Chains A and B, each alone.
Chain A
Amino acid sequence: QVQLKESGPGLMQPSETLSLTCTVSGFSLTSNGVGWVRQPLGKGLVWMGTIWAGGSTNYNSAVQSRLSISRDTSKSQVFLKMNSLQPEDTGTYYCARWDYDGTLDYWGQGVMVTVSS
């Protein structure tokens, strides 16, 4: 079955670079895109970026200058890197699969990231 799982450090310091990994199973990264969604504590969902099946990417303009999404198809992993972290980057980060109906259909469990000195 389709599964996604995020992993990465839970606590970061301001100005550091965040690195998260999304490991997927049950589908191929060359068939479906994977998106990253952030949810600040107690707040709503914000799309951050997507890497598509063909390898191209789209980023939210609010974080575009700091964000990079890449993948290793042989390992079924998608990577998020975001530099110059600030406390407002604190939240839960989800990866999710894009299906052919333009929907994020399967989501990982999320990883909580706290940015604090």
Chain B
Amino acid sequence: DIQMTQSPASLSASLEEIVTITCQASQDIGNWLAWYQQKPGKSPQLLIYGATSLADGVPSRFSGSRSGTQYSLKISRLQVEDPGIYYCLQGYSAPWTFGGGTKLELK
């Protein structure tokens, strides 16, 4: 099984700050990586697919990148609506696996 190690588990950041969340895959998954945002009581919302492509309607302050088997989600200027829990998902092979999540809070 492919393990997705996500870090940090939690972070607190200020408005307008740059935030970066990473997922490390245990093996090569190419660009088969997606990022989701989940707010309390809501279902996950797709932010990034194909490691770097922005999903429809997602603000351009969100971006995804890849370096080998490490994947990053960057929020360029944190906004008041951005706190929540962020997850990565590898879509390369079964069993499809999520990262453990990153809880993002406003400082």
A residues contacting the other copy or chain, number (CB 8 A): 22
A7 to chain B, nearest CB (A): 15
| Interface stretch of the complex, out of B10-18, B20-28, B70-78, B92-100 | B92-100
Tell whether, in the assembled complex, residue A103 and residue B89 are in contact, meaning their CB atoms are under 8 Å apart. yes
A111 to chain B, nearest CB (A): 11
1/0 contact string of B78-107 vs chain A (CB within 8 Å): 000000000101011011111111000000
Tell whether, in the assembled complex, residue B89 and residue A104 are in contact, meaning their CB atoms are under 8 Å apart. yes
Say yes or no: A103-B98 contact (C-beta < 8 A), given A94-B43, A110-B43. no
- If over half of B's interface residues share one DSSP class (helix, strand or loop), that class is named, otherwise mixed; here it is loop
- Whether A74 sits at the interface, judged by CB under 8 Å, is no
1/0 contact string of A29-48 vs chain B (CB within 8 Å): 00000010000000011110
B residues contacting the other copy or chain, number (CB 8 A): 23
| Known contacts A44-B98, A101-B53, A109-B43, then 20 further A-B pairs from the complex at CB < 8 Å, ordered by chain A residue | A35-B96, A45-B98, A47-B89, A47-B97, A50-B96, A58-B94, A94-B43, A101-B49, A101-B50, A101-B91, A102-B34, A102-B91, A103-B46, A103-B49, A103-B91, A104-B46, A107-B43, A107-B44, A108-B43, A110-B43
* Chain B residues proximal to chain A, CB less than 8 Å: 32, 34, 42-46, 49-50, 53, 55, 87, 89, 91-92, 94-101
